[in-house]
Amino acid sequence: MDAKELIARRVARELRDSTLVNLGIGLPTLVAHYVPEGMLVAFQSENGIIGFGSRPPDGMEDPNLTDAGGGFISALPGAYAFDSATSFALIRGGHLDMTVLGGLQVDARGHLANWLVPGKMVAGMGGAMDLVAGARRVVIAMQHAAKGTAKIVPELTLPPTAARPVSLVVTDLAVIEPTPEGLVLRERAPGVSVEQILALTTAPLILPDTVPEMTL
Amino acid sequence: MDAKELIARRVARELRDSTLVNLGIGLPTLVAHYVPEGMLVAFQSENGIIGFGSRPPDGMEDPNLTDAGGGFISALPGAYAFDSATSFALIRGGHLDMTVLGGLQVDARGHLANWLVPGKMVAGMGGAMDLVAGARRVVIAMQHAAKGTAKIVPELTLPPTAARPVSLVVTDLAVIEPTPEGLVLRERAPGVSVEQILALTTAPLILPDTVPEMTL
Amino acid sequence: MRKAISAEQAAAMVPDGASVMVGGFMGVGSPHRVLAALVARGARGLTVIGNDTSRAGHGIGVLIDAGCVARCIVSHIGLNPVTQQKLIAGEMEVELVPQGTLAERIRAGGAGLGGVLTPTGIGTVVQDGKQVVTIDGRDFLLEKPLRADVALLHCYEADYYANLTYRLTAQNFNPLMAMAADLVIAEPDEVVPIGVIPPDHVRTPGVLVTHLVKRPH
Amino acid sequence: MRKAISAEQAAAMVPDGASVMVGGFMGVGSPHRVLAALVARGARGLTVIGNDTSRAGHGIGVLIDAGCVARCIVSHIGLNPVTQQKLIAGEMEVELVPQGTLAERIRAGGAGLGGVLTPTGIGTVVQDGKQVVTIDGRDFLLEKPLRADVALLHCYEADYYANLTYRLTAQNFNPLMAMAADLVIAEPDEVVPIGVIPPDHVRTPGVLVTHLVKRPH
C-alpha cells in the first residue's frame, strides 16, 4: 500500500454515518474511495455541490460540473448545488461535521500552515481558512515529513491558516492528536516504530503507555 | 374619483420604464392598476416575488402565493420567487428604484412615521424601515389629513421610520417634495386651492410661483 | 433515508420554554399541522421567532391564541389584534425587528457570522442600546445573530433524504431558519423519491434537516 | 424584452482601469467568450475580482496571460504559475482573501450591508490592519464590502427578460456578483422564451442584469 492510500484509508476511519464532510484538493480527495460499507456520508465540494461522485464515463463530462480543482465529477441522486455564499455559510456556520485538508506544517499546539511558503510558493488560502475556522472537526492528511524534513514542528515557520488548532493529524507514519497538553501520539502505521516517528518529528510528542498500530 | 384612486393615479405617474418598484400593503397596492400603457414595471412584494399579478380567477387561488398582506395574487410570466434575505438584499442594496408606502406623519424635513402609535396601535415596522433606508426613491401615498388632523407636521410626534427623508409625498390634496430647504408644494389636486392645503397642513410649506393642478 | 414522523411526534420534540423559529409570512409557508399539534399538546412559555404573528386563528396566530407564547421576536403584529391585546395586557413580550434585519440576523446565526452591519434602524428606536459602527464615514447598526433551539419549517417537496424545495411566496424565512437551529423539523406538502428534485432545484439540503413530518393525506 | 449584444460589444463596455468581477471557479462558470473578447480588444489595467486566476490559458487566466490585469482580488492562485510569476516579478498586485470572506464581502456589497463580521482569518496575516470587533466575548474580523464597476457572469439559461439560471458547480460566485456591480453582463449557454423558467427556478432576476450576450451558435 502506498503512503497516500494508507493515509486516505486511515482518515476514512474517522468518517461517521449521516455526516457532511469536505475533502480538500489532492490527497484528501482519495478518502472518498474508502467510505465504510453501508455508511452514508455526504461529501461537500466548496465550489458548490453536496453529493458528488467520481469522474463520469468517457464523453459524459459536463464543463459545468467539477470539483474544486477543476476536475470532472458526477453528481449522485439527491445531490444539491449551491452558490459560494451558501457554501461557506455551511462551512462557517458549523454545519460541516468534518473537513480533511492537506498540510505543510503542524506545530506543537496543533496549529496548521498550508497556504503559503514565503518567497517560494504563493498558493492562496482558498477555502482553507474558513474550513479550519468553521468545521466541527479538522483532520489533516499529509506526509509525515518532506524529503526528510520534519513537518510536525515546535513552532510554525510558515504563516498559520487559523488561530484554532486542528483536531487530528494523519500521516503515513502516525496518527497524532493535538490536545491542550500537547501533541499525543495515538497510533503508528503498520510496521513503523515509535522511534522512527520521533526521528522525523521535531515537535515534542506525548507518548501514552501503548501506541497501537493503525487499523485500516 | 375617490381619494384613494386619485392618490394611486398620481403616484403611478412617478413610475418609470424598466424599473423595480415595491408597493406597501393597502393604498399603495392600488398603484399597480394605473401603470401607463406600454410601460414595463417590475413590482416586488417583499414576502418574496417580483412580477406578480392581480387575484387569480375563482378557484385558482394558491395558498403558497400571496402578497405581503396575505391576499391571493397571481404570478406573471417571467416572475421570480425568492427568500426573505434575498428580498431585503434587493431592498437594502439599492436595487429597488422606488417604494410606495403609507404614512401616519411626515415632518418638515421629510421624515416619515408609519409603524407605531404609542399606547394605541402597535403595528410593527415590517419591511418599512428597510424600504425607507434602502430604496432609491421613497414615495409616500396617504390621506392629507386624518379626520381634520394634519399629518404633515412641523415635527414628528410619532416614532420615526428612518433617519433618511422621503422623496415625495402624494396625498388626496397635494404633491409635496421634501428638499434640504423644506417641504415644497409642487401640485394641487384638481379643484383644490393652495389655501385649502395650507389649512390642513401644520408644517411650513414653501410655495413656488405657480402650483399647478395634478395631471392624472 | 429518513423515517417520517407525525405532527404530534414533532410537537413533542419542542419543549416548553424553547426558542422556536417558525417559517411563514402571514401564515403563508408556515407548518400548520405542527403548529396545531403544538396547541393540542398545550405547549407553554415558547419564544417564537418569525416574520409576524399572522392573524387570529391562523399560522403563528394559533400559538398566540392558545397562550403557548411568552415572547415573540417578529417584524409585524399589525394584523393580529390578539397579539396586540396580550402585549398591552402584559401577557406576552414582543420584540419588534425590521424585517430585513430579522432575515439577516437569522442568516448570520446560520452562517457563523458575528453580527449584521445594517443602515436600517439608524435614527429610530431600533438603535436604542445597540453599538453603532462607522465604516468609511457611514453609520451602521451592529445587530446580533439569531439562533433557536428548534426551527419549524414548511416546504413544498421533500425527498427521502429531506432535500427540500419551496413554492413561490411560501419560501420566505424557511430556508434561512433551516440553517439557524439545533433541531430542524420540516413539514412537506409532497414527498418524492430521491433524484426527483434536480440538484439545482433543491433549496435546503437534507443534511440540515433533523426530522421530516409525514405528508398530509 | 432585451436585445442581446455580441461578446465584442460587451468587452467594449469594460473600460481600461475598471474594476471587474468575473464569475467562475477554476474557469468553471466563467464567461469565456467575453473574456476572449476582452483579450482581443487589448484591455489594460483591470482590477479583477474572482475566486481564483484559474490556470494559464483558461478562465481568468487568459486575462492574466494577455497582461490585461493590474491587480486581482482572489482566494487562490496556486494552479496558475503565470499569476505567481507576475506577482513575484512585480508586474501585478494580488490581494488574497479567504474564499468564504470573499463571497460574503461581495454579498455585503450587493445587499447594502456595512461589512462582514467573520471569525475566519483571526490570528493570521489576513487580520493585519483590520478592525477586530468583540461580540459576546468572541473576536470577529470586520471585512469591508466589495463592489465593482462591471460584473461579467456566465449562466446556463437566460430568458428574454434576462432572468438567469445556473448549472451545478458553474453557479459559484455568479449570483453574488450579479448584485454587486453597476453594470452587469451575463453570457448564457441557452436563451429561452419568457415563462420557460419557472419563478422558483430563476436564480438571478432580469432586473439586475444590464446586458445579455448572444447565445453561442
pLDDT band at C83 (very low <50, low <70, confident <90, very high): very high
Domain ranges of chain D: 7-98+145-212
Query: What are the average pLDDT values for consecutive 10-residue runs of chain A, which has 216 residues?
Result: 94 96 90 92 96 93 94 96 98 97 97 90 92 97 95 97 97 98 97 97 97 94
Quick one: pLDDT at residue B143?
A: 96
Domain ranges of chain B: 3-206
pLDDT band at C162 (very low <50, low <70, confident <90, very high): very high
User: Residue written as cell 452587469?
Assistant: D184
Whether B119 shows a pLDDT value over 90: the answer reads no
Compute the distance between CA of residue A95 and CA of residue C135 in angstroms, rounded to an integer.
30
> Any CB–CB contact under 8 A between C119 and chain D?
yes
What's the complex ipTM? 0.97
Please determine, looking at this structure, whether the domain spanning D7-98+145-212 carries the CATH number 3.40.1080.10: yes
Share above pLDDT 70 across residues of chain B, in percent, rounded to a whole number: 100
Quick one: pLDDT at residue C170?
A: 98
In this predicted model, what pLDDT tens digit does every residue of D27-83 receive, in sequence order?
999 999 999 999 999 999 999 999 999 999 999 999 999 999 999 999 999 999 999
Asked if B64 lies within 8 A of C119 by C-beta distance, the reply is no
Quick one: pLDDT at residue C203?
A: 98
Whether D1 shows a pLDDT value over 80: the answer reads no
Residues 104-133 of C with CB under 8 A from B: 104, 106-107, 118-126
Q: Which residue of C has its CA nearest to A52?
A: C199
Compute the distance between CA of residue B36 and CA of residue D192 in angstroms, rounded to an integer.
27
Asked if B81 lies within 8 A of C75 by C-beta distance, the reply is no
Which chains border B (3 or more CB–CB pairs < 8 Å)? C, D
Question: Please, is B162 exposed, middle or buried when counting C-beta atoms within 10 Å of its C-beta (0-12, 13-18, 19+)?
Answer: buried
Task: Round the CA-based radius of gyration of chain D to a whole number and report it.
Answer: 17
Output the CA angle D165-D206-B80, nearest 5 degrees.
70
Question: What is the nearest CA distance from B92 to chain D, expressed in angstroms?
Answer: 5
Compute the distance between CA of residue D133 and CA of residue A20 in angstroms, rounded to an integer.
30
Asked if A93 lies within 8 A of C111 by C-beta distance, the reply is yes
Question: Please, is B63 exposed, middle or buried when counting C-beta atoms within 10 Å of its C-beta (0-12, 13-18, 19+)?
Answer: middle
pLDDT band at C146 (very low <50, low <70, confident <90, very high): very high
Quick one: pLDDT at residue A1?
A: 82
Quick one: pLDDT at residue D216?
A: 82
Q: Tell me, yes or no, if A46 is annotated catalytic.
A: yes
Query: Which residue among A66, A129, A163 sits closest to D98, beta carbon to beta carbon?
Result: A129
pLDDT band at B26 (very low <50, low <70, confident <90, very high): confident
The Cβ of residue B32 has, within 10 Å, a number of other Cβ atoms equal to 19
In this predicted model, what pLDDT tens digit does every residue of C114-144 receive, in sequence order?
999 999 999 999 999 999 999 999 999 999 9
Question: What is the nearest CA distance from D182 to chain A, expressed in angstroms?
Answer: 20
Interface test with B, best of C22, C168, C173 (most B CBs within 10 A): C168
Q: Which residues contact B25 (CB under 8 A, 6 or more apart)?
A: B67, B68, B69, B102, B126
Query: Which residue among D29, D77, D120 sits closest to A92, beta carbon to beta carbon?
Result: D120
Cα four-point dihedral sign C55, C58, C59, C61 = positive
pTM, two decimal places: 0.97
Residues across chain D? 217
Whether B76 shows a pLDDT value over 90: the answer reads yes
Query: Which residue among C112, C119, C167 sits closest to D112, beta carbon to beta carbon?
Result: C119
Asked if C195 lies within 8 A of A20 by C-beta distance, the reply is no
Q: Which residue of C has its CA nearest to B87?
A: C100
Domain B3-206: assigned CATH number: 3.40.1080.10
pLDDT band at D126 (very low <50, low <70, confident <90, very high): very high
